[in-house]
Amino acid sequence: MANDANTVFDLVILGGGSGGYAAALRAAQLGLDVALIEKDKLGGTCLHRGCIPTKALLHAGEVADTAREGSEFGVMTSLQGIDMAGVNKYKDGVVSRLYKGLQGLVSSRKITYVTGEGRLSSPTSVDVNGQRYTGRHVLLATGSVPKSLPGLAIDGDRVISSDHALVMDRVPKSAVVLGGGVIGVEFASAWKSFGVDVTIVEALPHLVPVEDENSSKLLERAFRKRGINFSLGSRFSGVEYTDSGVKVSLENGKTFEAELLLVAVGRGPVSQGLGYEEAGVAMDRGYVLVDEYMQTNVPTISAVGDLVPTLQLAHVGFGEGILVAERLAGLKPVPIDYDGVPRVTYCNPEVASVGITEAKAKEVYGADKVVTYKYNLGGNGKSQILKTAGEIKLVQVKDGAVVGVHMVGDRMGEQVGEAQLIYNWEALPAEVAQLIHAHPTQNEAMGEAHLALAGKPLHAHD
């Protein structure tokens, strides 16, 4: 086993987030000698500042909503308040258990784990802590950090990023969230559940703008009902500090005052000053460019995760990392179909999708070749029991496969697994309709939607 800096490793990985550690685990499993270099904490953004802590906050918010709304179910509950110290203890407990588990996994696979800030020193080596780690191959997986807008300084107090929002020790009275993408709407949703007066500002015409427009509209309706304010279609123009917080101005002249401003306008790659350009790696606006096998233009260097211009999702990082490990081990992995990657926004209600939108399908196949069907959760028993509203929308190529599944409603994220199989196996509506779905589940709505698209609706009008 390689355990010192003089060894030539099969693979040296820079960055121990979702992409880097998945590559390390799979490569080691396949018998490769791996060094994994991480400057902060194994697990990266997803585990410490992303997926896991945000979902814990959202779950705490769901508990708060349940307490607040108990009487709607005949259960006499009330919400006494949010103890942020308690919420943080719960959230941090989840993170630290997973962190321990991941550390154990990495050490059990005999991966050489190096703590320190690394820099690519040649196409086959990374320097860290004054030592050189040389590999037959190097994987760049340095991830991303929150971005801001030109002239908008994040001070960590009144103007914050998601990193700050996750470690707050108080519930703000009010907040403006700049950006109506996944991260923005998730924080807006959790904060509203905690009782915060929230306003989202999105420059594009819709919330979650990369989703099918139908999903955006359903989410906007649900947020309106929840009392989450939003302003669409006008860009941010400036922020001033006031006695009690901030005053945010938009180009259309509107202003919003709040205790704080959360900047959630996206994330940018971590690649500056790390030796990538010097080693000849082709880049575009800080992103490392790769082919469909995640290989850069330098044959000994690959890159994965948020550092490359693919979907910024943890499971995409996992998939890309595994692909690199398998390729280096001599297996023949197939390139990733990014349309087939499930996407979930865990706000209340959830938004989930796989495949392409109706608009994209019309572009690709022609407007007259695209058929859609929307199944309203109003007809689904379990959704009624949960008191949730929403839809499952299917996009089908006429007489062909389902190429898009777009869902809005509580717990719809859990339905994306079947939707993923439908899209990736190019299922015909009639084939899915043949499968019996359990009653009463929300999953049944997936079956009902396909029954209808196959021309034999059950709990839906013809």
Ligand X SMILES: Cc1cc2nc3c(=O)[nH]c(=O)nc-3n(C[C@H](O)[C@H](O)[C@H](O)COP(=O)(O)OP(=O)(O)OC[C@H]3O[C@@H](n4cnc5c(N)ncnc54)[C@H](O)[C@@H]3O)c2cc1C
Binding site for ligand X (CB under 6 A): 14-20, 37-40, 44-46, 49-51, 54, 117-118, 141-144, 162, 183, 270, 274, 305-307, 312-315, 317, 346
Q: Which of 439, 450, 459, 461 is catalytic?
A: 439
Nearer to ligand X, 176 or 304 (CB): 304
Nearer to ligand X, 100 or 398 (CB): 100
Q: What minimum distance in Å lies between the beta carbon of 218 and ligand X? A: 20
| 164: annotated active-site residue | no
Contact between 375 and 392 under an 8 Å Cβ cutoff? The reply is yes
Q: What minimum distance in Å lies between the beta carbon of 312 and ligand X? A: 4
Q: What minimum distance in Å lies between the beta carbon of 244 and ligand X? A: 26
Contact between 99 and 106 under an 8 Å Cβ cutoff? The reply is no
Whose tokens are 């959830």? That residue is 350
Nearer to ligand X, 341 or 452 (CB): 341
Q: What minimum distance in Å lies between the beta carbon of 406 and ligand X? A: 18
Nearer to ligand X, 53 or 447 (CB): 53
Nearer to ligand X, 117 or 284 (CB): 117
Nearer to ligand X, 38 or 202 (CB): 38
Q: What minimum distance in Å lies between the beta carbon of 290 and ligand X? A: 12
Q: What minimum distance in Å lies between the beta carbon of 2 and ligand X? A: 18
Which residues are marked as active site?
Answer: 439
